[in-house]
C-alpha cells in the first residue's frame, strides 16, 4: 500500500512539474521584421536589441529580406513562405509582425489577400506606406513604387472592404515630420490603433527606442 501511495504521489508530482514547465516555456510570439523600400534586414539592428532588452531571445527575432524593387505581391508571397518556416522552426502558433515604410504594403497584402492574418497575432506599422505616398512618383521604374502610388490598383484593392481582417490586432505609428510618406496621414489604417508621434523622421522610426518600446507593449497586451 505504501509503495502504491508513493507511486501515485510521484506521478502527481511529475504531472504538476510538467504543467509548470509547459506554462513557463510558453514565451512571446516570434517577431518577424519587414523592411521597406531600398531597405534590408540590417535596418532592424536597434529594434532587435530593444526587443532583447525586453526579454526576447535572439531565436525569437527574425528579419525578412526581399527584393524591394519587385512587385509587393511577389514579396508578400515570399513572406508567406518565410512565416511558415518561422512557425515550423519555433513551434509557435502565430507570429507578430513589425514593418517599416513599404513593408506595410507587403505585410498587409500577405495578411489580407493571402490569408496570412490567421498566422499573425499582432501587426505594427512604423511610418508605413499603407495608403501609398506621392514620393513614389520618383521611382516609377520599379513595380513596387508603381503599386505604392496613391490611387494605384494595388492600393485600391488593399484599402477596400475590411482593412484589418481576422482576429489580428493592428497598430500604426506616424509623424507629421515623416517627410517620405506624403501625406503623412497615409500611414494610418482604418480599424487600427493609430498612434501620432511628434517630431520623428521616416528613417528615425527605425531607431526610436520610445516607439519601439510602445510596439513591445502593444505585443504584450
What is the helix (H) or strand (E) element at residue 30, kind and residue range?
Answer: none
117 a catalytic residue:
no
Catalytic residue among 117, 125, 175, 178: 178
The single residue of 75, 101, 168, 175 carrying the catalytic annotation is: 101
Q: Please pick, among 35, 100, 117, 202, the residue that the annotation labels catalytic.
A: 202
- Please answer whether residues 105 and 70 qualify as being in contact, where contact means their C-beta atoms are separated by less than 8 angstroms: no
137 is catalytic: no
**178 catalytic, yes or no?**
yes
Burial classification of residue 10, based on how many CB atoms lie within 10 Å of its CB (0-12 exposed, 13-18 middle, 19 or more buried): exposed
Query: What are the catalytic residues?
Result: 101, 178, 202
Amino acid at each position: 500500500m505504501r509503495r502504491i501511495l508513493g507511486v501515485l504521489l510521484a506521478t502527481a508530482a511529475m504531472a504538476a512539474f510538467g504543467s509548470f514547465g509547459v506554462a513557463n516555456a510558453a514565451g512571446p510570439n516570434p517577431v518577424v521584421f519587414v523592411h521597406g523600400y531600398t531597405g534590408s534586414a540590417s535596418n532592424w539592428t536597434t529594434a532587435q536589441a530593444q526587443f532583447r532588452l525586453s526579454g526576447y531571445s535572439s531565436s525569437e527575432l527574425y528579419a525578412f529580406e526581399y527584393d524591394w524593387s519587385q512587385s509587393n505581391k511577389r514579396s508578400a508571397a515570399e513572406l508567406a513562405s518565410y512565416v511558415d518556416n518561422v512557425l515550423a522552426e519555433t513551434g509557435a502558433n502565430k507570429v507578430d509582425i513589425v514593418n517599416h515604410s513599404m513593408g506595410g504594403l507587403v505585410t498587409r497584402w500577405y495578411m489580407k489577400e493571402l490569408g496570412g492574418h490567421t498566422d499573425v497575432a499582432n501587426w505594427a506599422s512604423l511610418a508605413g506606406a499603407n495608403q501609398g505616398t506621392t514620393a513614389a512618383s520618383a521611382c516609377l521604374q520599379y513595380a513596387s513604387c508603381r503599386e505604392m502610388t496613391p490611387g494605384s490598383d494595388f492600393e485600391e484593392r488593399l484599402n477596400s472592404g475590411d482593412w484589418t481582417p481576422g482576429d489580428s490586432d493592428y497598430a500604426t505609428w506616424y509623424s507629421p515630420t515623416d517627410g517620405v510618406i506624403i501625406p503623412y496621414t497615409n500611414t494610418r489604417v482604418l480599424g487600427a490603433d493609430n498612434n501620432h508621434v511628434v517630431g520623428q523622421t521616416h528613417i528615425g522610426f527605425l531607431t526610436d527606442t520610445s516607439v519601439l518600446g510602445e510596439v513591445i507593449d502593444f505585443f504584450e497586451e
